[in-house]
Amino acid sequence: MADARLRAALRTLLGDLRRFAYGLSGNGADADDLLQATVVRLLEKGVPDDADIRRWALRVCRNLWIDMIRAKRPNVSWDEAPEAADSAVDGETAAMARIELNQVQAAIAQLPPDQREVLSLVAVNGLSYREAAEIAEVPIGTIMSRLARARGALAERLGQAGEQAGDKGQGKRPGGKRIES
Partner 1 sequence: MTISDEVLNAYLDGELEAGDMEAVDRALATDETVVARLAALAEADRAYISELAAIDARPLPSGLDDLLADPVPESGARVLAFPGKARWDRLRPYFVPTAAAASITAIIGFGVGFAVGPGSGAVADPFTALSRGTTPVIAMLDERESGQIVDIGHGMSAQVRLTFPAADGNLCREFDVQSPKAAAAGIACRSDKGWDIRLAARQSAPAQGTGYVTAASADDPVFGRAVEALMAGDPLDGEAETAAIKNGWQKPLVEKK
The CA–CA distances, whole Å, from 88 to 9, 92, 98, 165 equal 34, 9, 10, 19
Nearest residue (CB) to partner 1, 83 versus 180: 83
28 vs 176 by CB, closer to partner 1: 28
Nearer residue to partner 1 within complex by CB, 129 or 176: 129
Site size toward partner 1, by CB under 8 A: 59
In this complex, which beta carbon is closest to partner 1, that of residue 164 or of residue 173?
Answer: 164
Helices (H), the chain: 3-25, 28-45, 53-70, 91-109, 113-119, 129-136, 140-168
Site for partner 1 in 52-71 (CB under 8 A): 64, 67-68, 71
Return d(Cα 40, Cα 141) in angstroms, integer: 33
What sign has the CA pseudo-torsion 109, 113, 114, 116? positive
Of residues 108 through 127, those in contact with partner 1 by CB under 8 A are 108, 119-120, 122-124
Identify residues 24-43 at the interface with partner 1 (CB under 8 A).
Answer: 28, 31-33, 35-37, 39-41, 43
Min separation Cβ 33 and partner 1, Å:
7
Q: Cα separation of 137 and 107, whole Å? A: 25
CA 155/CA 107 separation, integer angstroms: 9
CA dist list (Å): 128 to 13, 27, 55, 57, 116: 17, 26, 11, 16, 16
From 48, 77, 79, 148, residue interacting with partner 1 (rule: CB under 8 A): 148
Binding-site ranges for partner 1 (CB under 8 A): 3-4, 7-8, 10-11, 14-15, 18-20, 22-23, 28, 31-33, 35-37, 39-41, 43-44, 64, 67-68, 71, 73, 81-86, 101, 104-105, 107-108, 119-120, 122-124, 128-129, 144-145, 147-148, 150-152, 154-155, 158-159
